[in-house]
Chains A and B, each alone.
Chain A
Amino acid sequence: MSTTILGISSFYHDSAAALVRDGEIVAAAQEERFSRKKHDPRFPRHAINYCLEEAFIEADELDAIVFYDNPLLTWDRVVKNCVMAGEPAFEQFEKAAASILGIKLWVQDYARRTLGCLGRSGRVLFTDHHFAHAASAFYPSPFREAAILTLDGVGEWDTTAIGRGDDDGIELAQVIEYPHSLGLLYSAFTYFCGFKVNSGEYKLMGLAPYGRPVYERIIRDNLIDLKDDGSFRLNMEYFGYLDSFRMTNERFDALFGGPPRQPESRITRREMDLAMSVQAVLEDAVLRLARHARRESGAPNLVMAGGVALNCVANGKLLREGIFDHIWIQPASGDAGGALGAALMAAHGYFGSPRRMSPGGRDTLKGSYLGPAYSSAEVRAFLERHGYPYERIEDPDGRARTVAQALADGKVTGFLSGRMEFGPRALGARSIIGDPRSETMQSTMNLKIKYRESFRPFAPSCLAENAAEYFDLDVESPYMLLVAPVREERCIPFDREAFYNNEDMLQIINQARSDLPAITHVDFSARVQTVHPDDHPDYYRLIRAFREITGFGVIINTSFNVRGEPIVCSPADAYRCFMRTEMDLLVLEDCLLWKSNQPAFAEAGDWRKDYELD
C-alpha cells in the first residue's frame, strides 16, 4: 500500500514542508520563497500547499503529518534553563514560554486549519529534532552505511549528535547538550561582528579569509574547552544567550577589545581576524568530532546535517583530511531540512517503507530541485498579461548558446529554469549568473545587482567532468557545500601581508587572483558546484555552451535575489528582481527578456524597505 507523508518544520526559523511518497522525495520547499519574508518562521501553509500540488493529492490522502521537533522536550529545556539561570532569565523565559505554549503546542490546530483535515491518521506525529536532521542526511545519501554527525545551534536539548545509519535504520549514540553548542559559538561571533544571527553566519565564513587567526588562542583558552574526541564545553561566563537576548556579554566584549561591531558600520581588521579565528576553532572541532565518529561507528562514510554543516569551508577541510572515504551533506541542513528529515523518518522508521537507493550510486535528492517549476505556458501567460517583451527560443541548445554568448559579452543574467532548489543555495534553477573571467565582476555583482557587501565572494558552477581542470577537487559537489582550492597554476600570487596591514578590502577584491578572478576568494579557494547533466540538463547545457565559446567551463552562480530578499520562486518574483537591479538579461524557462527592451518599471514606495537587511 502506498504511503504519503508530509513533513513540517516551523516556528523557529526557515519554516518548510516536504512530501515523501513510499520513501521517494516528491517535493520540498521553504515557506520564505512563497511568503517573500526571509527566514519566515510561520506555519508553512504556502509550502504545504505546494507539496500537495506537486504530489497532486488531497490533504485527506496523507497518511501522516510529521513535525520536525518535539515541543515538549523544548519546553523542558526552556524551563530548566530558566531554573538554572535564575532571575536574569525570566524575561527570556516569558518570551520562550509564549512562543512554545502559544504556538508550538498547537501544531495540530495549525495543520488542521491549513489543510482542512489531519490526513488519514487524524493527528500530527512528532520526531526529535536531531533525528530529523540525521534522517535528512542519511536516507537520501548514496550510502548503505554511514556515520552520522549533526551539528546545529540547538534542537530540544541537543546541539550535537553522533550516530550511525544502516540500510533503513538510524541510531544516535552520543549527544552534546545545550548550552554547549558549536552553532551558538559561531552565531555569537556572527553577532559580535555585526551580522544577523541565523543568517549572517555565511558572511562570517566569507569574511574569514580576509583575516588571520590572531584570536584563536584566546578563544581556546577562554571560550571553549575542546577535547580530543571532539566533545566540548563552552564557558558560559562569556555568553549572553542563557539569560538574555544577547548572544554575548560584557566579558566577551572585554576579551576582544570592545563592544560588538554595529551592523552596517565599516568592517575592521578586528572582525576579519575574529572571523578567521573562530573559523579555525570550528574546523578543528568538526575534524575531531568526525574522527571520533569514524572510530565509534566504524563506517567508511559520513553524512552530515544541521546548520553547522552548511559551513562549506569546514566541509572542504573535512573532505581533504580523508577521515572518511566519502562524505555527503544534506544541502538543506538548517531547520528547513528538518521537514524533509521528519517525513523520511516517519516513512522508514514508522511506516517501514523500504529505502530507495539510486542505481547509479548517486544520492536520491534529485539535485535538490524539489520546489515548484513553472511551465513555458505559465511564463508566457505572465509575460503576455503584463505586456513584457520577450523572445522565445524553444530549442534548448540554441537557447543555451544565446545565453552563453551574453555571459561571455559580460551580461549579468537572471536564470529561472526548472524546479526551484530546496535549501539555501541556488544551484542553477533560481540563479544570477555571470562571467567569472572578469576582474571587476565580483564588486559589480555585489554592489549593482545584489546590493550587498562588496567583500562577499561568488561561487562557481562547472561541468562535473571538468571540475578538476579548475579546482583541486576529485569528488562531486552538486550542492555547493564544499570549498576547494583553485588549481595552483591558475592562481596569481599577491602580497597578502600588505593586505593584512591595511583594512581596504576593495583593494584586494578588484585584484586578479586567478584566471577566474570573480570566483576565486582571497585565499585562492572557491565554493564549487559541479553540475551533472542528469540533475539539471538546461543548466549543464548552458555551461557547456559557455565553454565552447570561451574555453572556460565555469560560470558565476549566485542566488537570484537581492540582499534581504528570499530567493525568487515564480516568474513574477524573478521579473521584479530583474527590474530592480542592473541585470541585463532574464531567462524565464524558454523566454528571454532583455532589460533594454523592457518598459519602465514603476513601483509604489521604496522596495528596499520591504526587505530587512540580513
Chain B
Amino acid sequence: MSRQLLEYHSVIGYRFIPGLKARVEHEAGGYLVRTNGAGFRCDREFLPARGPSRRALLFGDSYTAGDGVSNGKRYGDLLETMVPNLEVYNFGLSGSGTDQQYLAYREFARGIERDLVIIAVFVENIMRVNARYRFFRNENNEEVLYEKPYFSLGAEGLTLHGVPPERRPLREMDLPPDARSRIDAGGRFASLRLLARRLGIKDLAQRITRYNPVVEYNRPDDPRWLLMRALLAEWIREIGGPVLVVPVPLYQFIEGTSDPSCYQARFAELARDTGCHLHDPLPDLKAYPKEERRAFRFARDVHYTPAGHRALAASLAPAVQSILDAAGS
C-alpha cells in the first residue's frame, strides 16, 4: 500500500499531488517519487524566468514521469548530466494521453521561458488520445475507471470535450454501450493479453504472431492518427520555438517482435509537415545486445528500468545538444 500520488485537476483530469515525497512499492523493490509545487514529478520548482542554464521542458506519460524508477534515474534527469548546462523541467504525467499532456502545457508551461520543448510520445498514447475513459490502478492496487478530457477533430479543427471531467471513479457497467467502446484498456485484445500473461506465454505469443500493438499508425489517413497528428501539429504550432518530438517505443519494438515501420513513417511525416525536430531512439535502443534490451523493462512491469532510461538518455542527449547548439543558446 503506497500513498495516493495523484489529485484531481479540472482541466487535465489529474496531476501529481504537489510537494509529495513518497516511495512506491514495486516489483524491483520500490522507487522514490518527489513532486514539485506545481504537481509534477520534477525535483526542480518551475520558475517562469530562465537563469543562466539552458532549459528544456519535457512532456510525456509514465515513461517520462518515470514509473518504476526514482526521480534521479529517469532519462529526463540523466539528460541533465549528459548535456552541459541543461535543466530539464519534467512535466511527465503517468497514464496520460498526448491530449492531456498538451493541456498540461497550456495550463502550466505556456509562460515558462525555455530553449526547447521535448514532446515524448509513448507510441501507445495514440489509444489514450482516442479514449474518453481510462482504467488506473490506485494506491490500493484496485483498478478504477476515470473520465478524461479529450479532443475531437472536425472541419473546424480540434474541439476540447469532457472538461471538467467527472472527479469520482465510474463503473463500466453504468456507461452506455457506445461509451464503453471509448475506454482505453491499455492496449488491444485485453482479455487475450491477460490470459497469455497468466499462462506465461505473452512474449512468446507476441513473437510468433508478430503482434502489432499500435495498428492506429498503419495508414496515414486512419482517423485515430489524424486526431493525434492534429493535436501534435497544433501543439507544435502553439509552442512557436524549437520542438523535439520523440516517439518512445514499446518494448515489442525494442525487442524486435513487432514491426515499427508504420509508426516511424507517421512521425516522419509529422516532422516533415510541421518542421519540428524528430529523434527516433529506436535504432539506438535496438543496437544493444538482446539480453540488454530485455533488461530495459522489468520482469513484469513493462516500464523502462534504470538501464532503459540510461539507454534512452544516451540516445537523446546528442540530439538535444545539437538542437540547443544550433539555436545558439
Asked whether B17 lies within 8 Å of A58 as measured between CB atoms, the reply is: no
Contact B30 A116 (CB under 8 A): yes
A94: interface (CB < 8 Å) = no
A351 adjacent to chain B (CB < 8 Å): no
Across the interface, which residues of B come within 8 angstroms of A45, CB to CB?
25
Residues of chain A contacted by B18 (CB below 8 angstroms): 377
Chain B residues near A372: list those with CB within 8 A.
3
Q: Which of B2, B21, B34 contacts A49 (CB 8 A)?
A: B2
A–B complex contacts, Cβ < 8 Å, 15 sampled: A34-B1, A46-B25, A52-B30, A53-B21, A59-B29, A377-B18, A378-B3, A378-B4, A378-B17, A381-B8, A384-B7, A384-B167, A385-B8, A385-B168, A387-B168
Judged by a CB distance under 8 angstroms, whether A115 is at the interface is yes
Given contacts A35-B1, A378-B3, contact A114 B17 (CB under 8 A): no
Residue of A50, A378, A381, A387 near B23 (CB, 8 A) is A50
B70 CB–A CB distance under 8 Å: yes
Binary flags per residue of B21-35, CB closer than 8 Å to A gives 1, else 0: 111010011101010
CB distance from B303 to the nearest CB of A (A): 15
Does chain A have a CB within 8 A of B6? yes
Residues of A within 8 A of B2 (CB): 49
Smallest distance from the beta carbon of A607 to chain B beta carbons, Å? 15
Q: Mark A372-394, 1 if CB is under 8 A from B, else 0.
A: 10110110111011110000000
Contact pick for B17, options A34, A52, A57, A381, CB 8 Å: A381
Identify which of residues 1-60 in chain B touch chain A, using a CB-to-CB cut-off of 8 Å: 1-4, 6-8, 17-23, 25, 28-30, 32, 34
Whether B6 pairs with A381 at a CB distance below 8 angstroms is yes
The 8 Å CB contact of A52, one of B8, B23, B28, is B23
In contact, B29 and A53 (Cβ under 8 angstroms): no
Q: From A58, A378, A385, A572, give the contact of B70 (CB < 8 A).
A: A58
B19 touching A375, Cβ below 8 Å: yes
The answer, yes or no, to whether A214 is at the interface (CB within 8 Å) is no
Question: Which residues of chain B have C-beta atoms less than 8 A from A58's C-beta?
Answer: 32, 70
User: Quick one: which of B120-176 are within 8 Å of A by CB?
Assistant: 167-168
Is A117 part of the contact surface with B, judged by Cβ < 8 Å?
Answer: yes
Contact for B7 among A50, A115, A381, CB less than 8 A: A381
A384 to chain B: closest residue by CB: B8
Q: How far is the CB of B314 from chain A (nearest CB, A)?
A: 21
A56 within 8 A of B: yes
Interface of A is mostly: helix
The answer to whether A53 and B1 touch across the interface, beta carbons within 8 angstroms, is no
C-alpha spacing A381/B18, complex, angstroms? 10
B contact residues around A386 at 8 Å (CB): 168
Residue ID in chain A nearest B3 by CB atoms:
A378
Distance from A376 Cβ to chain B, minimum over Cβ atoms (Å): 9
B4, A116: Cβ atoms closer than 8 Å: no
Q: Check A387–B167 contact: CB distance below 8 A.
A: yes
A375 contact set on B, CB distance < 8 A: 17, 19-20
Which residue among B2, B3, B20 has the maximum number of chain A CB atoms within 10 Å of its CB? Answer: B3
User: What 4 A-B pairs have minimum CB-CB distances, sorted nearest first?
Assistant: A116-B29, A381-B7, A53-B23, A381-B17
- Residues of A within 8 Å of B25, CB to CB, are 45-46, 49
Q: Are B168 and A53 in contact (CB under 8 A)?
A: no
How many positions in chain A have a CB within 8 Å of any CB in the partner chain? Answer: 30
User: In whole Å, how far is B23's beta carbon from the nearest beta carbon of chain A?
Assistant: 4
How many A-B residue pairs have C-beta atoms within 8 angstroms? Tell me. Answer: 67
Of B19, B21, B29, B167, the residue contacting A56 (CB under 8 A) is B21
Tell me which residues across on chain B come within 8 A of A59, comparing CB atoms. Answer: 29-30
Q: Bound state CA distance, A46 and B1, in angstroms?
A: 7
Q: Could you tell me the distance between the alpha carbons of A385 and B140 in the complex, rounded to whole angstroms?
A: 14
Interface positions of B from 88 to 120, Cβ below 8 Å from A = none
Cβ–Cβ < 8 Å partners of A34 in chain B: 1
Chain B positions near chain A (C-beta within 8 angstroms): 1-4, 6-8, 17-23, 25, 28-30, 32, 34, 70, 167-168
Docked complex Cα distance between A57 and B70 (Å): 10
* Interface hits, A373-426 → B, CB 8 Å: 374-375, 377-378, 380-382, 384-387
Q: Which residues of B contact A381 (CB under 8 A)?
A: 4, 6-8, 17
Main SS class of interface, B: loop
- Given A52-B32, A372-B3, A385-B168, 18 further pairs, Cβ under 8 A: A49-B2, A49-B23, A52-B23, A56-B21, A58-B32, A115-B29, A116-B28, A117-B29, A375-B20, A377-B7, A377-B20, A378-B20, A381-B6, A381-B17, A384-B8, A385-B8, A386-B168, A570-B3
| Residues of A with C-beta under 8 A to B168 | 385-387
Bound CA–CA A59/B28 (angstroms)? 11
Shortest CB distance A109–B (Å) = 14
Interface centre among A35, A372, A375 (most CB of B within 10 A): A375
Closest B residue to A569 using CB positions: B1
A58 to chain B, nearest CB (A): 6
| Chain A residue at minimum C-beta to C-beta distance from B34 | A56
Chain A, range 560-578, C-beta contacts under 8 Å to B? 570, 572
On chain A, the residues within 8 Å of B3 by CB distance are 372, 374, 378, 570
- List B contacts of A382 (CB < 8 A): 4
How far is it, in angstroms, between the C-alpha of A210 and the C-alpha of B258 when the chains are bound? Answer: 76
Q: How far is the CA of A115 from the CA of B28 in the complex (A)?
A: 7
CB distance from A301 to the nearest CB of B (A): 37
Measured CB to CB, the closest approach of chain B to A389, in angstroms, equals 13
A374 to B8, CA, bound (A): 17
| Interfacial chain A residues near B4, Cβ < 8 Å | 378, 381-382, 385, 572
How distant is A589 from chain B, measured CB to nearest CB, in Å? 13
Q: Is the CB of B30 within 8 A of A49?
A: yes
Q: How far is the CA of A116 from the CA of B4 in the complex (A)?
A: 23
Residue ID in chain B nearest A51 by CB atoms: B23
Q: What are the residues of chain B within 8 A of A385 when measuring CB–CB?
A: 4, 7-8, 167-168
The CA of A58 and the CA of B21, in the complex, are separated in Å by 13
CA gap between A387 and B2 in the complex, in Å: 21
**B169 shortest CB reach to chain A, Å:** 8
Within the complex, the shortest CB–CB distance from B12 to chain A, in Å, comes to 14
A299 to B197, CA, bound (A): 64
Chain B nearest Cβ from A449, distance in angstroms: 25
- Nearest Cβ on chain A to B2's Cβ, whole angstroms: 7
Q: Name A53's closest neighbour in chain B (CB-CB).
A: B23
* A88 nearest CB across to chain B (Å): 42
User: Could you tell me the distance between the alpha carbons of A447 and B7 in the complex, rounded to whole angstroms?
Assistant: 36
A 156-201 contacts with B by CB, 8 A: none
Chain A residues near B17: list those with CB within 8 A.
375, 377-378, 381
A378 proximity list for chain B (CB < 8 A): 3-4, 17, 20
Inter-chain CA distance A58–B7, complex, in Å, is 25
B190 CB to closest chain A CB, in angstroms?
A: 24
Q: How many angstroms from the CA of A375 to the CA of B17 in the assembled complex?
A: 10
Q: Cβ of A116: which chain B residues have Cβ within 8 Å of it?
A: 28-30
B267 to chain A, nearest CB (A): 35
CB distance from B93 to the nearest CB of A (A): 15
Q: What residue in chain B is nearest A116 (Cβ atoms)?
A: B29
Q: Which of A50, A53, A572 contacts B32 (CB 8 A)?
A: A53
| Cβ < 8 Å to B, chain A residues 326-381 | 372, 374-375, 377-378, 380-381
Contact between A377 and B19, CB atoms less than 8 A apart: yes
Interface string of A33-64 (1 = CB under 8 A from B): 01100000000011001101100111100000
Chain B residue with the shortest CB-CB distance to A571: B4
| Across-interface contacts of A56 in B (CB, < 8 A) | 21, 23, 32, 34
Minimum CB–CB distance for A573 against chain B, Å: 10
What residues on A are CB-neighbors of B34 within 8 Å?
Answer: 56
Across the interface, name the chain B residue whose C-beta is closest to A380: B7
**Which of B4, B6, B29, B167: most chain A CB closer than 10 A?**
B29
Query: Which residues of B sit under 8 angstroms from A53, Cβ to Cβ?
Result: 21-23, 32
User: Complex formed: what's the CA distance from A76 to B25 in Å?
Assistant: 35
Task: Please give me the residue from chain A that is nearest to B22 by CB atom.
Answer: A53
- Cβ contacts under 8 Å, A46 to chain B: 1, 25
Contacting residues, chain B, for A380 (C-beta < 8 A): 7
